[in-house]
Amino acid sequence: YIKHHIDNSFNFRANCRSGVCGSCAVRVDGVERLACKTTFRDGSYIQALNNVEVIKDLVVDLQSIEQKLTDAKVYIDKLSSAPVTQKSIKLIQQQSDCILCQMCYSSCPVFSVNQNFLGPYGFSRVLKYVDDSKEADKTSKIDNIQNFGLWDCTLWQLHIGLPPRYR
């Protein structure tokens, strides 16, 4: 509405419009939300996500977070020959369902004061690969995240309820 009726230079991200891509993550009245799944009221206060650089309006730069994930080796590093079973799939399901919206970084009090902190999404991804039967070198993943503020995190359970699919 704003872009079409009030200010055509207004910028925001939106792709799927069905709550599965995460690109439209914003803060509404101080709470992280997906804009495409939020009913706005007159007077709703809409802001860009916290803890990341704002490029313009509601568009934020996610490159620094993506670089942290690369540095933390948040991917399968050494392929295992272990079979993939239903049990192993279920073990990583919650982490695999993440839509990469970055709302957890916006709401993370540790990330707000320590930009070297890997953050909720990063630690969740590491857990996914530690639990993934396809990863052969689980120990190095755990050893590696020691350098990214793992022990600074005190609210990790809080972020489990934050993802949009659980709201």
Percentage of residues of the chain with pLDDT beyond 90: 24
Q: Does the pLDDT value for residue 71 go beyond 80?
A: yes
Residue/partner pairs of 54-57 with CB below 8 Å, 24 or more apart? 55/11, 56/11, 57/10, 57/11, 57/12
Q: For 132-163, what is each residue's pLDDT tens digit?
A: 999 999 998 888 888 888 778 877 656 555 55
pTM of the model: 0.79
Q: For 102-134, what is each residue's pLDDT tens digit?
A: 898 898 888 888 878 888 888 888 889 999 999
State the DSSP code for 20.
S
